[in-house]
A = this chain, B = another copy of it.
Amino acid sequence: MKKSRLEAFSDGVFAIAITLLVLEIVVPHIEEPGELGQAILDLWPSYLAYATSFLTIGIMWINHHTVFRQLGEVDHRFLFINLGLLMCISFVPFPTTLLADYAWGGNGEAAALTYGITLTITALFFNLLWRYAAWNNRLIRHDADPREVDGISRAYLPGPFMYGGATLVALVSPEASAALYLAVAVFYVGSSSFFGREEAAL
């Protein structure tokens, strides 16, 4: 298995998962004239959930490249850890729909918890993927910059804790939890744009 093929396949799964997110936004069924406008505005939780998951998957795709750029080769265990990561990414449209449909209502807790658990497990897989590759430079290419490799190791560490924390917030306030998921993504885009560093990863 060449690294480039694995990267192309992964890119495909990222691109499809991110584009399927729109299917979550269901066109309202309106009979009365003039009521569609309000119904479209009432879908704001769907737009928020769409933006949150789109940015999050987009950032994870960027991080995936940050990992792969440091690799010299891949082995079988790496292949399956990557498959597990893709299984999480592909799953995201389901909790996204949960978040859109229920986060702002009486069932918000279960929706925000499910969304947060999904992202936390995804962040754990990202750490596993990177640490498996970086352990004793197992799969790192020979001309990689050690400081860059260490920088990525440090940068990926907080991800599961951040998402785990936002998940726990759901027990107190599902709305705050949903806002935090979006805030994490927007904060990452902002800081990464400002500092211009890819390893400021989530």
* 3 shortest interchain CB distances as A-B pairs: A33-B106, A12-B15, A36-B107
Please provide the chain A residues from 1 to 48 with a CB less than 8 Å away from any CB of chain B in the complex: 1, 5, 7-9, 11-23, 25, 27, 30, 32-37, 40
Verify A11–B9 contact, CB threshold 8 A: yes
How many angstroms from the CA of A40 to the CA of B117 in the assembled complex?
A: 13
- Residues from chain B with a CB closer than 8 A to the CB of A11 are 5, 8-9, 12
Contacting pair A61 B198 (CB below 8 A): no
Q: Confirm or deny: A54 has a beta carbon within 8 angstroms of a beta carbon on chain B.
A: yes
CA distance A196 to B135 in the complex (A): 18
Indicate how many identical chains form the complex: 4
Q: Mark A57-72, 1 if CB is under 8 A from B, else 0.
A: 0100110010000000
A17 with B19, Cβ < 8 A, contacts A36-B111, A77-B193 known:
yes
Instruction: Write 5 A-B pairs (CB below 8 A) sorted by A numbering.
Output: A5-B65, A16-B19, A18-B90, A25-B94, A77-B196
In the complex, are the beta carbons of B18 and A107 less than 8 A apart?
no
- Is there a chain B Cβ closer than 8 Å to A176's Cβ? no
